[in-house]
Amino acid sequence: MENNIKYKQYVIMPMNPYMSVGKRCSQVCHASFMALEKQRTRPGLHFDDNIGEWKRNGMCVIVLQCETPLELMGISRYLDQWKIPNHLYIDEGITEVSMGTPTSLATGILTEDQFWMLEQLDLFGKKPDAQNIIDDSGNH
């Protein structure tokens, strides 16, 4: 099947710390909304028309994973250097994680010539290949 998607929003979640499925879903929503607001309201961004095109083309959202909140912060800085609108959501610490924990990161709407920036990250929930897992005895 040919991929004709020209506009995407990416959301990145750290695998650690542990969060329940409901918590993860809420963090994705927070980050996604805030990234879109930043893209829509920040003057001078050349991406502001992308939101309308994204809506007309199915509102594709891709959820990716990284290992830790520290890695998530690094990705946000990387996107800032490329002037890609993004929002790093920092949790308030009311339920499952400590206050100040970065729990999700969303980009604004990217065009197909920008997708490469995040292609090294795995889809959220992807498990390592079985051949790369070492059991407790040290054997592959």
pTM of the model: 0.85
- CATH code of 7-125, in short, is 3.40.1490.10
Statement: residue 128 has pLDDT above 60: yes
Residue 17 three-state SS: coil
Please compute the mean of the pLDDT values over residues 102-108 and round it to a whole number: 97
Distance in angstroms (rounded) separating the CA atoms of residues 61 and 9: 5
pLDDT of residue 40: 85
pLDDT of residue 60: 96
Distance in angstroms (rounded) separating the CA atoms of residues 78 and 55: 26
As beta bridge partners, residue 63 has 11
pLDDT of residue 52: 87
Instruction: Please report, as a single letter, which amino acid is at residue 122.
Output: D
pLDDT of residue 96: 96
| pLDDT tens figures, 3-44 | 689 999 999 999 999 999 999 999 999 999 999 999 888 766
Longest dimension (CA), the chain: 57
pLDDT of residue 49: 78
Statement: residue 56 has pLDDT above 50: yes
Torsion angle defined by CA atoms of residues 135, 138, 139 and 140, in that order, rounded to the nearest 10 degrees: 60
* HSE (side-chain half, CA atoms, 13 Å) at 114: 18
As beta bridge partners, residue 62 has 10
End-to-end CA distance of the chain: 35
Statement: residue 76 has pLDDT above 70: yes
Distance in angstroms (rounded) separating the CA atoms of residues 94 and 105: 19
Higher pLDDT, 107 or 133: 107
DSSP string, 121-137: SEETTPPPPGGG---TT
